[in-house]
Amino acid sequence: MTRTIEHPLGWRDIAAVAAGEDLALSSPAWGRVETARRIVEALVERGIRAYGITTGVGALSDTVVDRKAQSALSRNIVLSHACGVGPLLERREVRGILAAQIANFAHGSSGVRPEVVRHLLALLAEDCIPDVPSKGSAGYLTHNAHTALVLIGEGKATIGGERVSGRAALASIGLEPLVLVAKEGLSLVNGTACATGLSSVALARAERLLDWADAIAALTLEAAGAQMAAFDQAALSLRPSPGIEKVGARLRIRLAGSQRIAAALGRRTQDALSLRAVPHAHGAAWDCFEAAGRIVDQELASVTDNPALAGTPEQPQVWSQAHAVAPALGQAADGLAIALAQLAAISERRTDRLVNPLISGLPPFLASEAGSQSGFMIAQYTAAALVNENRRLAAPAALDGGLTSALQEDFLAHPTAAATKLLSILDNAEHVLAIELMAATQAQDLLAPTEAPAPGTRILRDLVRSHVDLYADDRPLGDDIATLRTLIATQAPTT
């Protein structure tokens, strides 16, 4: 499938391209790109003072650059800004950044030549993935510069499973390196494409994780003999929240017809909060997810280049502003990070209730032969460790300080840092939920067969058992965790 830019894309479009779909521009979008380029050429021709076009950048914004040096300025911006460090971003993440950057150029306020956009589209179409180090961006500059390196024949990229030079990567897809002209270097490193692309990927992963979290919680609730009165529609409606309503309905549907739930009726006056508060914790995460999605869509609908262009070549307009700064985006990623960290925390607490012989009513640590086997004792340790790491990662990036460019950039919103740590929290949360899924399935298998599970949980149990067998301390448990984490990350829960 091909996503075509005519009107602004949404985060789901960016996530789809990140996952492998193609991207194209409509005729009106190409027209906007071409008009913006002619505006830049008019500014250059008339010698109109414009940031990053006829001047230097950052603290050098008052330094005029003559026409002969403008191409060198563009190339030098890319080379000097490509100073990221650390492990490389994954293929999906780089594709998301490229897609968001193309979407920003398609607004028609950046002024790059159509050739630049065509080169970026070719990288996506041929799955040519530039090397982009994951660390070193206080806002957006370094990540974007590393994608731009390949366009000028520098840097490295992976294509067809082989890592090659940027020049060789372009040659393999029939392209020559670009010789950048006025403003193109600045536009290629500028804007919020990095944070927006990464946030779009994170949203897609978060949505799948939330779907799984609701399903896994139902499996655990049944194994624990939960009191379903806490999830009655009338009771939950006393606290208005789309997320709470959604999760409550899902639990009722998933657990409908459960003899195990029916047999547990009245066994306790109320359950522990890790069971009783599933709609509240999961529902809050769903509400944060929806809010974050609206912010990312707002970002994709926005021009995030500086300077921004408008008007016509005859009457050009150019504005130096701060649209490349994205406090809302950083705050949205931080908020979702906190919500998912809390989602993982309540999952670990439910896992503990399943494996803890003091409260579970099940064999200690869900071991087939307690004493000679440890069962899921240490798997719960792993979940606890990941939850603790998430707690540290959930500290807000948007509040980080930093002064750059000789006080010219004396306020930083850190949306890229917020997005990258959100992705790290997702990594941990997927593993934590995988551990709960593994434990809840084991608990289901250890329950008396005389009480039938709900059809909605039986199908989950069967799906898990098609990937991993009942555990009897007969293999490394980490392999099972990895298998179920992959299941959670790549497949929707069976309904």
Q: What is the pLDDT along the chain (495 residues), one digit of tens a residue?
A: 899 999 999 999 999 999 999 999 999 999 999 999 999 998 888 887 777 777 766 655 666 666 777 788 889 999 999 999 999 999 999 999 999 999 999 999 999 999 999 999 999 999 999 999 999 887 668 899 999 999 999 999 999 999 999 999 999 999 999 999 988 999 999 889 999 999 999 999 999 999 999 999 999 999 999 999 999 999 999 999 999 999 999 999 999 999 999 999 999 999 999 999 999 999 999 999 999 999 999 999 999 998 899 999 999 888 888 888 889 999 999 999 999 999 999 999 999 999 999 988 899 999 988 778 899 999 999 999 999 999 999 999 888 777 666 656 666 778 999 999 999 999 999 999 999 999 999 999 999 788 899 999 999 999 999 999 999 999 999 999 999 999 999 999 987
Please answer whether residues 420 and 336 qualify as being in contact, where contact means their C-beta atoms are separated by less than 8 angstroms: no
For the question of residue 51 being annotated catalytic, the response is: yes
What is the pLDDT at residue 139?
A: 64
CATH 1.20.200.10 intervals, the chain: 199-490
Q: For 29, how many CA atoms within 13 A lie in the half-sphere containing its CB?
A: 19
**C-alpha distances in angstroms, 191 versus 169, 185, 220?**
25, 12, 44
- Backbone phi and psi for residue 51, each to the nearest 5 degrees, phi listed first: -55, 130
**What pLDDT, in 10s, does the model give residues 42-70?**
888 888 777 777 776 665 566 666 677 77
Coil, helix or strand for 444? Answer: helix
Give the right CATH number for 2-190 from 1.20.910.10, 3.90.470.20, 3.30.1490.20, 1.10.275.10: 1.10.275.10
CATH 1.10.275.10 in the chain: give the residue spans. Answer: 2-190
Tokens read off for 380 = 């719960």
- The Cα–Cα gap between 404 and 171 comes to 37
Output the pLDDT for position 408: 64
Distance CA 389, CA 241 (A): 29
Positive or negative torsion for Cα 197, 246, 237, 436: negative
Nearest to 125 by CA among 202, 205, 25: 25
CA distances from 482 to 91, 281, 403, 430, 438 (A): 20, 25, 41, 10, 11
Contacts of 94 (CB under 8 A, 6+ apart): 129, 130, 132, 147
CATH number for the domain whose boundaries are 199-490: 1.20.200.10
Percent of the chain with pLDDT over 90: 79
**With left for phi above 0 and alpha for psi between -120 and 50, is residue 438 left, alpha or beta?**
alpha
Q: Where do the H-state alpha helices sit in 255-303?
A: 259-263, 273-276, 278-300
Q: Is 222:30 a contact under the CB 8 Å cutoff? A: no
- Active-site choice (51, 140, 381, 471): 51
This prediction's pTM: 0.95
- Show the DSSP H helices in 106-192 as ranges: 114-125, 141-151, 166-172, 184-189
* Alpha carbons 434 and 208: distance in angstroms, whole number: 13
349: which residues sit within 8 A by CB, 6+ positions away? 274
pLDDT of amino acid 404? 67
CA angle 130, 88, 426 (to 5 degrees): 120
229: DSSP letter: G
Q: What residue spans of 372-476 are helical by DSSP H?
A: 377-393, 415-446, 455-465
Taking only the tens place, the pLDDT of each residue in 394-416 is 999 888 777 666 656 666 778 99
Q: Is the separation of the CB atoms in 9 and 103 below 8 Å?
A: yes
Task: Give the pLDDT score at 136.
Answer: 80
Q: List the one residue out of 146, 156, 27 whose CA is nearest residue 84.
A: 146
Q: What is the pLDDT of residues 353-402, one digit of tens each?
A: 999 999 888 999 999 887 788 999 999 999 999 999 999 999 998 887 77
The Cα–Cα gap between 117 and 105 comes to 8
